[in-house]
Amino acid sequence: MINKIEWKRIRGGQVRPYADTIYEYEIISEMREEEVKRFCKTFLGACKNEGSCFNGSCGFPFGLEPYCKFEKDEEVENKYNYKICYPYTG
């Protein structure tokens, strides 16, 4: 069996000057959730800070490290969303 993964970038970049850079991806795959998450962190962008309180900003209290959020789509089977935020550094 060949593991297949499809992904597309929904958005990417800064929304305004001096803002953090945010990338958002949509992933579709029949692979296990852990494997999809590993793919995201390896190929789409790694981060140390992860959690459900992602608000589209890397500022306080998250520090200057990239911040990400990985979640399974509630409505569509085998669909995932991955968001990663890189802090603005000047």
Residue 34 lies in a domain: no
Q: How many residues in total does the chain contain?
A: 90
Residue 38 lies in a domain: no
pLDDT in tens, 65-77: 788 889 999 999 9
Q: What pTM was estimated for this model as a whole?
A: 0.83
- Which range of residues forms the domain containing residue 13? 1-23+46-57
Residue 7 lies in a domain: yes
Question: Percent of the chain scored above 70 by pLDDT?
Answer: 81
What gap in Å lies between CA 34 and CA 61, rounded to an integer? 27
Give residue 20's pLDDT: 84
Q: How many domains does the chain have?
A: 1
Residue 6 lies in a domain: yes
pLDDT in tens, 19-50: 888 899 999 999 999 999 999 999 998 887 77
Please name every residue paired with 8 in a beta bridge, in sequence order, or none if there are none: 26
